[in-house]
Structure 1
Amino acid sequence: MPDWVYAVILAVIEGLTEFIPVSSTGMMLLAKKAMGLPDGFWDTFAVMIQLGAILAVVALYFTKLWKQVVSLPTDPQARQFALTVIVAFAPSVVLGLIFHDFIKAVLFASAEVQCISLILGGIVLLFVDRIAPKPVVDDPFKLPWQKALVIGLFQVLAMVPGVSRSGATIVGGMLFGVEKRAAAEFTFFLAIPTMLGAFILDAWESRAQLTDETMPLIAIGFVVAFVVAIVVIRAMLAILTSRGLAPFGWFRIVVGVVGLGLLTWA
């Protein structure tokens, strides 16, 4: 198949999985391995097209986010929201810069790590869905900075492919009294600076791979991931609100088990 077809397939997977707690990076890397794509550029592709999916959040929540931005000089609530995003973002900045090369070179290369992370993460989702305390915060724009910091620390776990950034942050929020939909929406907002930072860092680190041949593939992946994510975000919130984390937990477990089985018999 031509490379653009692989780019579309991976971008559809990214758009479908970025905002549900099943690890978009893990899914793309497993798909990359299943399709026999080489390491290097396709690992960079998997990171960089995530920004396309993240921009879907900006599109869907533009009015609310823009209100926060223009109100920063006069509204303490808007400044509080900005602070919570910064506080939650900070741990990933520090540890991402420290461990970026190790994550790309070692963890991204291990399909076994990704499958095990999917299974363990699925079990965690099922468990947290049952034992999470009664929520005390139900507005993602009004999180105390302490709870935002906890969510940010949980986000660090998603540096391991297969863990799921959205899964880790939603679990962190729910365990510390944030209502699941509010935790999911704050996760969406936190993804904007997080994925923008990952995009810039990976673009710089992998700049030698960004050529006249590869940039069109990234552009295709970017657009496809954006369009698919627009549809998925609303569906994900509807499922999370009505059925909780269990459907995503079982999905992770099934994919992880099937993946390990295929690796064992390969």
Structure 2
Amino acid sequence: MDLPLLAKALILGIIEGLTEFLPVSSTGHLIIFGDLLDYTDAQSKVFKIVIQLAAILAVCWDYRARLIERLHGATGITRHYAQVELRENGLWRSLPRYLKEDSVAFWFNLFIAFLPAAVLGLMFYKTIKGFLFNPLTVATMLVLGGVLILYLEKRAYHPRIDSVDRMRWPDALKVGFAQSLAMIPGTSRSGSTIMGGLIFGLSRKTATEFSFFLAIPTMFAATVYDVYKNWSLLHMADLPVFAVGFVASFLAAMVAVKAFLRFVSGHSFALFAWYRIVFGLVVLISWKMGWVTWHAD
């Protein structure tokens, strides 16, 4: 599609912000719409990284009070135990009590949940980026993921964890492994973590909030690593394009996060599942019928 570059940046920024925290795969949408807009060059790779960071910063801003509270709580607890209990009893004897404190347990759980995707991402980065980042893979995973969500929504859930504060590290680790499935584009990071959380005993709101929090270290790490790998592609001349996409993504994500939290409090994810299925089938049918020339590699 022949549009000015700034218009493409605006469109993709809005798409990223609206889809990053929904179970519909923001990366998949960027791949598909980037292909439609004919924005698939080297610059686009870095651009997509930048606008994903903007969406994560929107969550940081929206949850800033809770994050600061957690950070201050963990810092105070750490200082107390470092000065008193760790000196008297030794690190390993005081560690179990140490982790019972809500603030420290929160950050520890995020770290544990982050590990599976971090390790597997480093192991399979080149393979995933080289062979799976294309519209046809995305469309296939959108359909399969939608069918899976519909199946999971028919199950009877009996949540045993109604707050992020009540999560233990084994719960966080299970959600972390669920998140690692999202390395396949079109799967959806938020969809994997939220549905995984439901399966492992989290309430809908708890699974959704933990997914938001887990996105922060996961996406920051992915952004830093991607920028490092593509540093040579960064140019000052691209700053206006990146700025438009960044602001659009940030503002759209602010709206999407609040709306999504209100939605999940009283609805299932079936609507998103059907959206995934229809959207994925449209892409696959358009490719099969030759209506759109999608990049298959």
> How big is each residue's C-alpha offset from its partner over 1:209-234, in whole Å with a ceiling of 9 and x where there is no partner?
11122233222212111101101111
Q: TM-score, normalised on structure 2?
A: 0.86
> How big is each residue's C-alpha offset from its partner over 1:82-107, in whole Å with a ceiling of 9 and x where there is no partner?
11000000111111112222222211
Identify the residue that residue 95 of structure 2 maps to in structure 1.
Answer: none
Identify the residue that residue 117 of structure 1 maps to in structure 2.
Answer: 141
Greater gyration radius: 2
> Does 2:118 match 1:93?
yes
> Does 2:14 match 1:12?
yes
- 1 CA distance for matches of 2:229 and 2:65? 34
- 1 CA distance for matches of 2:46 and 2:181? 20
- 1 CA distance for matches of 2:75 and 2:221? 25
Q: Tell me the amino acid that sits aligned with residue 100 of structure 1.
A: Y
1:36 CA drift (Å): 2.0
Identify the residue that residue 77 of structure 1 maps to in structure 2.
Answer: 102
In the TM superposition, 1:104-183 aligns within 5 A as 104-108=129-133, 110-183=134-207
- 1 CA distance for matches of 2:234 and 2:225? 13
1:247 CA drift (Å): 0.7
Identify the residue that residue 263 of structure 1 maps to in structure 2.
Answer: 287
> How big is each residue's C-alpha offset from its partner over 1:49-87, in whole Å with a ceiling of 9 and x where there is no partner?
111011111111111111100001445111111110000
In the TM superposition, 1:186-265 aligns within 5 A as 186-265=210-289
8 Å CA contact 2:49, 2:227 repeated in 1: no
1:39 CA drift (Å): 4.0
Identify the residue that residue 30 of structure 1 maps to in structure 2.
Answer: 32
- 2 CA distance for matches of 1:41 and 1:260? 27
Q: CA 1:132–1:183 in 2, change beyond 3 Å: closer, same or farther?
A: farther
> How big is each residue's C-alpha offset from its partner over 1:149-172, in whole Å with a ceiling of 9 and x where there is no partner?
011101111111100000000011
Aligned pair count reads 265
* Gaps in structure 1 of 5+ consecutive residues: none
RMSD between aligned alpha carbons? 1.3
Q: CA 1:137–1:264 in 2, change beyond 3 Å: closer, same or farther?
A: same
Comparing 217-226 with 115-124, greater Cα deviation is found at 217-226
Comparing 33-42 with 132-141, greater Cα deviation is found at 33-42
8 Å CA contact 1:29, 1:46 repeated in 2: no
Comparing 40-49 with 95-104, greater Cα deviation is found at 40-49
Q: TM-score, normalised on structure 1?
A: 0.96
The percentage of aligned residue pairs carrying the same residue is 39
Identify the residue that residue 52 of structure 1 maps to in structure 2.
Answer: 54
1:185 CA drift (Å): 0.5
* Gaps in structure 2 of 5+ consecutive residues: 78-100, 291-297
- 1 CA distance for matches of 2:11 and 2:115? 32
